Structure 1
């Protein structure tokens, strides 16, 4: 691999590292702040996701180092580099957190897929790692969406563009179910 390709991939992976570090902190935040009748189900569903996302960050950091980069996992670097807003939901019912988390996963998966496509020619080893991470992230989103979907397949957060909007839509649907 050329030095130019390796540098480009290191830069891209650093952004993915920040995104996954942010996700694992967001998941712990949800784990600590979820309440309501589905508390235990969501509380216990989140911790394995945290553990697997942390493992993904380790894989990314090690790949950055393997390619000659210096992985930066400090909170300050994450906040300085991120292009997304901080998770906006505090103490809330399980369904509200799941509605917001669905949007978090959607954005993260979209960006991970772009990184996967960008490594197809220049670094199939990194692409393989990203594909495996996508498999896990998409599985986690499926777990979340199982709480948000009607039996007819309608997603309660459909069309939501903000975490608070998705949280509200999910809560409204839950309240209006027969």
Structure 2
């Protein structure tokens, strides 16, 4: 790196930008997954879920932009290509195609589990080095948790149990949520 933010060493900036790059790829993948769901959801409550997803897409795209700009601010070069998503991916590609509202929401709940857990791990990692980046990730995580709450509201029964409870994969979560 030719430069970084004042007060950060090049080594620290490298550590932070590496973490942010993985998060950037995860968010780019998430906004594509959300759009896929938006296009492939069918059945009762279609329009409500269809319209619920688009604001999530836009906010997640904005989160990706924020992380890319943070990488650049720290002297790195953000990679926003499909190849970068593939290279950084430690998760499986979204596996549900055209399906019911509940099937997609059951699977999406597991996607949010992974994204939020990984964001929290990134917060832990960068917080020791760069509190500015930590703050960005904390704000994003709070909103991602709220999105998951919106999804879970469709999956929850009157006793608080989720229809996809205990699912080990997106396909399993979709099947459990379908009923």
TM-score (norm 2): 0.95
Superposed displacement of residue 121, structure 1 = 2.0
- Select which of 7, 11, 15 maps to 2:14: 7
Aligned residues: 172
- The residue matched to 2:155 in structure 1 has which SS? coil
**2:78 is aligned with 1:71:** yes
Show the counterpart of 2:131. 124
**2:38 is aligned with 1:35:** no
Q: Which runs of 4+ in 1 moved over 3 A?
A: none
- Select which of 88, 95, 117 maps to 1:110: 117
TM-score (norm 1): 0.95
- Select which of 53, 56, 60 maps to 2:63: 56
- Partner Cα distance (1:29, 1:111) in 2: 21
Q: CA RMSD in A?
A: 0.6
**2:125 is aligned with 1:134:** no
Superposed displacement of residue 80, structure 1 = 2.3
- Partner Cα distance (2:88, 2:139) in 1: 25
- The residue matched to 1:158 in structure 2 has which SS? coil
Superposed displacement of residue 81, structure 1 = 2.1
What do residues 20-44 of structure 1 show as CA deviations (whole Å, max 9, x unaligned)?
Answer: 0000000000000000011001100
**2:153 is aligned with 1:146:** yes
- The residue matched to 1:70 in structure 2 has which SS? coil
Which blocks of at least 5 consecutive residues in structure 1 are unaligned?
A: 173-178
What do residues 122-152 of structure 1 show as CA deviations (whole Å, max 9, x unaligned)?
Answer: 1000000000000110000000000001111
Superposed displacement of residue 158, structure 1 = 1.1
**2:94 is aligned with 1:87:** yes
